[in-house]
């Protein structure tokens, strides 16, 4: 079993989404109920029947889509492990496969601030066009930028950037000792 130097699992903070989800759900619910009551005749129709029927179906679709977004936000997490195998990360439900960056492939690393990354804001996965850059952040404003031997860059969000860097150094040093 390889030595584990660092482990971090980050979840999306539900408090960040709750006001938005509540407002959108209330609006969709209100339109849905109004359309439903008009459709069954409990409320005087404000719109022609066909338009009311379309509105009813659209709110059904929006409700399912909102439910999908809520479930996705609830299961979204960023898992990062640093072991003798390398830096392992996984970002379900978007990247379910475990990705491994070997110590030998890391050429440079540094702490970066998320708000200073031009063109990359928000949660989740960001891919830079032409820049061969992948950003995996879920909460917080700091990340570790790994410049790889092939010229790619990967930024992994972390709440503990100093511990992350120390673990990377320990991983690289253990590889040097084994190979040396």
6 has pLDDT over 90:
yes
pLDDT at 121: 52
CA–centroid distance for 26 within its chain: 25
pLDDT higher at 74 or 133:
74
Domain coordinates in residue numbering, the chain: 4-8+77-179, 12-75
Q: Stretch 169-173: mean pLDDT, rounded?
A: 85
pLDDT digits (tens, 9 = 90+) for 76-101: 889 999 998 999 999 888 778 898 99
pLDDT above 70 covers what percent of the chain? 83
Task: For tokens 């339109």, name the residue.
Answer: 31
Confidence of residue 147 (pLDDT cuts 50, 70, 90): very high
pLDDT at 118: 57
Tokens of 48: 């022609």
175 has pLDDT over 80:
no
Q: What would be the CATH architecture of the domain defined by 4-8+77-179?
A: Roll (2.30)
Torsion of CA 50, 53, 59, 64, to 10 degrees: -130
Q: In angstroms, rounded to a whole number, what is the distance separating the alpha carbons of residues 146 and 39?
A: 57
Total Cβ atoms within 10 A of residue 128: 15
H/E stretch holding 18 reads: helix 14-40
Contact 107, 148 (CB under 8 A): yes
């Amino acid at each position: 079993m390889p030595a584990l130097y660092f482990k971090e699992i980050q979840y999306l903070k539900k408090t960040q989404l709750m006001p938005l989800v509540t407002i959108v759900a209330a609006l969709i619910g209100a339109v849905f109920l109004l359309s439903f009551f008009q459709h069954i005749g409990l409320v005087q129709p404000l719109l022609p029947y066909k338009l009311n029927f379309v509105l009813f179906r659209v709110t059904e679709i929006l409700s399912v889509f909102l439910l999908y977004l809520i479930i996705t936000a609830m299961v979204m997490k960023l898992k990062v492990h640093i072991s003798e195998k390398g830096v392992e990360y996984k970002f379900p439900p978007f990247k379910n496969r475990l990705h491994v960056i070997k110590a030998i492939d890391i050429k440079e690393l540094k702490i970066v601030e998320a708000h200073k990354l031009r063109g990359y804001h928000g949660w989740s996965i960001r891919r830079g066009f032409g820049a061969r850059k992948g950003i995996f952040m879920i909460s917080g404003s700091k990340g570790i930028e790994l410049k790889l031997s092939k010229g790619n860059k990967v930024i992994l969000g972390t709440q503990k950037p100093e511990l992350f860097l120390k673990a990377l150094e320990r991983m690289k040093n253990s590889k040097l000792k084994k190979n040396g």
